[in-house]
Amino acid sequence: MRFVWFFVSGVVLLSFAASLYALPRLPDRIASHWNAAWEVDGYVPKTPGVFLVPLISAAIAVLFAVIPAVDPMKANFESFRRYYDGFVALMVLFMLGIHVQTLLWNLGFRVGFNFTMPVGLGVLFYYVGVLCEHSKRNWFVGIRTPWTMSSDRVWDRTHRVGGRLFKVSGLVAFAGVLAGEYAFYLIIVPVVLTAAYTTVYSYLEFRREARGL
């Protein structure tokens, strides 16, 4: 078993432990959702609510553990496996951060999501850029369009460009710390534009390859 999965399992167990510790100290209904202005707009009963994020984290960990084993292009996957493992570790840490902050909020320690979410998502997006730059053609990870999946050359060129753009998206997301209610747009818009641009770029690169350019 790879070391990263011991780490991931430990983080998920820590998330459940935090829930068990906080459960008797929480009010009967807890804040569970914040809108784009970072205001609470959703509440749930504490018993199911306090275990929601740990259960999602466990499901994510299981899914990410299975993906490398079932990908038909295992050799390609293994070539960037350490970057994939890093992403999995970062993702469960991100989920733990959300969970701990939600618990603290409901216990009366109002740490603002307007600071932590732009930073957390900024780090995540930046690392997605790193992962893209090192990924090789596979069925589960990366910018998977009909054109990248049809050509190693198109895959590599698209992911080189996409990696840079995701890194920029991560840096822009950091600026959300200073943007207040507009932080949502600094987080979402660059990622959506990156996804749209790389889709079109992969098609154009495929056309170039077909013409022998």
Q: Identify the pLDDT of residue 71.
A: 95
Shared-domain flag, residues 120 and 171: yes
| Model pLDDT, residue 32 | 84
Using the 3D structure, point to which of 89, 111, 133 is the last residue of a domain: 111
Give the whole-angstrom CA distance, residue 187 versus residue 24: 35
Q: Domain ends where: 62, 88, 111?
A: 111
Cβ neighbours of residue 204 closer than 8 Å, sequence gap 6 or more: none
Domain count, the chain: 2
Q: Which domain holds residue 38?
A: 1-111
Q: What is the tens place of the pLDDT at every residue in 96-117?
A: 999 999 999 999 888 778 888 9
Residue where one domain finishes, among candidates 85, 111, 137? 111
Blockwise average pLDDT, block size 10, the chain, 213 residues: 86 97 93 78 89 96 95 94 96 96 90 86 97 97 96 97 98 89 90 97 95 74
Give 107's contacts (C-beta < 8 A, 6+ positions apart). 22, 25, 26
3-state secondary structure of 51: coil
Residues 101 and 116 occupy one common structural domain: no
Indicate if 62 and 96 belong to the same structural domain. yes
Note the pLDDT of residue 128: 98
Within this chain, do residues 212 and 120 fall inside the same structural domain, yes or no?
Answer: yes
Q: What was the pLDDT predicted at 213?
A: 59
Query: Do 185 and 127 have their domain in common?
Result: yes
Q: Are residues 1 and 89 in the same domain?
A: yes
Residues 119 and 19 in one domain: no
Helix (H), strand (E) at residue 31: strand 29-34
Question: Could you give the residue ranges of the DSSP H alpha helices within 81-212?
Answer: 81-106, 113-134, 152-174, 183-210
Do 189 and 142 fall within a single domain? yes
For the record, the structure tokens of 144 come out as: 């998977």
Per-residue pLDDT at 112: 76
* Measured CA distances, 141 to 74, 116, 137 (Å): 12, 26, 8
Domain identity same for 92 and 141: no
